[in-house]
Chains A and B, each alone.
Chain A
Amino acid sequence: MNCNKVRSLVSAYVDGELPGVEMLAIRQHLSECSNCASEYESLLNLKRLFGRLQPKHPRSDLATKICHRLDEMSQPAHDRWLSIFAKYIQPFPSRIRLAAAALAVLSALLVIRVGGSSYSNILSPTSVISTVASARMQNQAGAFVPQTALGTSVIELHPARDNPWLSPMPASFVTQRDTFTVRTAGFYR
């Protein structure tokens, strides 16, 4: 084995990661060639140097931090928000906490109402009857229709979803139990 070949393999030789035949051939060469032997020595010393590095230690709370993040990750989103909210209001007296909770609920309702009313402004229904929403319906074309009350003959438009409702044409809708006819002529943009 010549010097070039030995030098290309000597790093793996240091690790003992060569087939037996090559290991023996390199050992033979190193005993006869001082240049390659010194190459081998320097790589061996380098490996030993890194092997002697002291482990770096993390802060003592790293495992706890990781487990805490895992807890947060396992928690459903609404629980996360609640626990964040609870944490923020914890230092306050109970009356203020109650008021804050009430305010949060009211705000949430307001957001829902505002969302609804803005949509109502677009639709401006002249004949909205029922406010109960309990069943899903499909129109004849198969499009999804807002939740409505089964058994009521006139249906409220839910202020959320569907363009088919904007059609000025009368349309009929079928559920599993009943057939409804909905007058859409009263609705306009």
Chain B
Amino acid sequence: MLASTVLESGTGEMNGLSDAAAITCRTDDRKFFDELVQKYHKQAYNVAYRMTGNHADAEDLTQDTFIKAYRFLDKYNRDMPFENWLYRIMSNLFVDTLRRKPKAHVRSLDEPVQQEEGETLIEIADSAAGPEELALSSELDAEMQQALSEIPEDFRLTVILSDIEGLSYEEISEVMGCSIGTVRSRLHRGRRLLREKLKKYLE
């Protein structure tokens, strides 16, 4: 509610300017940047969540993205939509964070675990009383999120930007700093991996 109010009353679009054009005119205007935060933080958070797979990391990543965007606002190129520039910053931050963190092994739930008495599968206690009580949408959401988390981050971000955010190949190539051919290839390979993990929902 607040965000939409600010959106309607505050940003440059009211004055006939796109956000991109307004930003280049008002790089030192804190109040204006606050309005951009209000307008774009939900969208940015959604991508951050799909990248990281949890709320705490998504919140940190979103915050860091806006802080960095504010610091480097004078480097913003108005030819790119503001949200796409945010995604670019976010993707760089995400990769940097992964490099700094000790490598965590993401284990698929279907992956057998070696034990003394042979292989076994990981069992996770189900807090719900029965499968019927778990809403399909949240179960599916969790499965899809898990599948996303298990594919390489370049593929993951490409799929998120294409299929969740609806960006074109050209826009994705700008965000990720790669060629359109690379975008095509990452989507092709990423989707095949995802399809394998989610095949029971695709039949």
Contacts and interface: CB of A to CB of B under 8 A. Distances in A.
Contacts, number: 101
Interface string A56-92: 1111001101110110011000000000000000000
A162 B71 CA distance: 37
A7 to B, nearest CB: 9
From DSSP, what is the main secondary structure of chain B's interface residues? helix
A161 to B, nearest CB: 33
A43 B163 CA distance: 11
A17 interface: yes
B163 A69 contact: no
A151 to B, nearest CB: 44
B49 interface: yes
A87 to B, nearest CB: 21
A11 B187 contact: yes
A54 B67 contact: no
Contacts of A49: 140, 144, 198, 201-202
A53 B159 CA distance: 13
A142 interface: no
A70 B34 contact: yes
A43 B162 CA distance: 13
Interface in B182-203: 184, 187-188, 191, 194-195, 198-199, 201-202
A119 to B, nearest CB: 38
12 contacts: A12-B184, A12-B187, A15-B187, A17-B184, A42-B199, A45-B202, A46-B195, A51-B164, A55-B46, A56-B49, A70-B34, A70-B37
Given A15-B187, A56-B46, 14 more contacts: A11-B188, A11-B191, A17-B169, A47-B162, A47-B163, A47-B191, A49-B144, A50-B163, A51-B164, A58-B41, A59-B59, A62-B62, A62-B63, A73-B67
